[in-house]
Structure 1
Amino acid sequence: MNKTITFRNMTVDDLNDVMEIEVHSFATPWSREAFFNELTKNQFAQYLVVEVDHTVVGYCGVWIIVDEAHITNIALLPEYRGLKLGEALFARVMELARELGALRVTLEVRVSNERAQNLYRKFGFEEGAIRKQYYTDNMEDAIVMWVNL
């Protein structure tokens, strides 16, 4: 059976679904209030969701400040990982960043998250630096990755 896959801007009405994804994806999930503020108060923030058969199964956020974009987060429900949905969602966000004038994109990724690093390398990201003890849940380092668009 074919599934309908759609990408669209995240709205406040998506927050219950986003919080479900968040708690299944991160040791220190963002709060509902943080997402609410991103959607309603942060003029630099853009968030997209991916839906499968009208159910939100993933999201990705980016801040676009002048000509630089910063990926804030990307996550999918566990049962939708490994299906290329994250890659498709990330491609949409990169396209959005380019459309909104970004000349380069940056992000942080856990040193242990090789799956995510491999995804980012597919889009041309390269390692730029290490942020020591960046993640507060276990003090893991983050790799800063960059790509010029």
Structure 2
Amino acid sequence: MEEKHIDEVQYISEVSIKDYWSVDELRKELDNKVAKYFIQEIDGKVVGFAGVWVVYDECQITNIAVHPDYRRRGIATKLLEDMIEHLKTLDCSIITLEVRKSNTKAYDLYSSIGFTDEGVRKRFYKDGEDAIIMWYRYEDFE
């Protein structure tokens, strides 16, 4: 992700994620040395994005979203698979994320790629909803 993508990424975030990130928060991510953002474009238009923080050999997915007009086309799967392959080159040993308990579509996507349940963060989100903690371990796929 580059500065020129911020407005499109923020729009996708706003229409896709309940606790979406502002333009300022996304701009800060460009300067965050541990943050990496991947975008998917179609005909020069950003249609999806995924963010991750890389701290030593552990990686935390911060957000992922696809524009509503482009869902159910495999874009989120491709973003995650490309991210996982890239993080492997950085010697990442584990990828973690939190997903809303009610977000069954995202949960199913993560499960289909190989993420497993590792716990629950009670009342994790601003509205009090629990988060399911999921992990992807490279060693499980070697």
Give the TM-score of the pair, scaled to structure 2.
0.94
What is the deviation of 1:24?
Answer: 0.5
The answer for the alignment partner of 2:52 in structure 1 is 62
> 1:104 is matched by which residue type in structure 2?
I
The answer for the alignment partner of 1:102 in structure 2 is 92
Which of these residues, 64, 71, 79, is aligned with residue 74 of structure 1? 64
The answer for the alignment partner of 1:38 in structure 2 is 29
The answer for the alignment partner of 1:126 in structure 2 is 116
CA distance, structure 2, for counterparts of residue 68 and residue 26 of structure 1: 24
What is the deviation of 1:37?
Answer: 0.8
Give the TM-score of the pair, scaled to structure 1.
0.90
Specify which structure has the higher proportion of helix. Answer: 2
Q: For this pair of structures, how many residues does the alignment match?
A: 138
The share of aligned pairs that are identical, in percent, is 38
Gaps of 5+ in 2: none
> 1:109 is matched by which residue type in structure 2?
V
Does residue 83 of structure 1 match 2:73? yes
Deviations 1:39-74 (A, max 9, x none): 11x111100100011100110001111111110000
What is the deviation of 1:28?
Answer: 2.3
> 2:25 is matched by which residue type in structure 1?
A
Deviations 1:12-43 (A, max 9, x none): 11111011101111222111111111111x11
The root-mean-square deviation of aligned C-alpha atoms, in Å, is: 0.9
Runs of 4+ in 1 over 3 A off after TM superposition: none
Gaps of 5+ in 1: 1-9
Which of these residues, 137, 140, 149, is aligned with residue 129 of structure 2? 140
CA distance, structure 2, for counterparts of residue 123 and residue 102 of structure 1: 16
CA distance, structure 1, for counterparts of residue 17 and residue 95 of structure 2: 22
> 2:64 is matched by which residue type in structure 1?
I
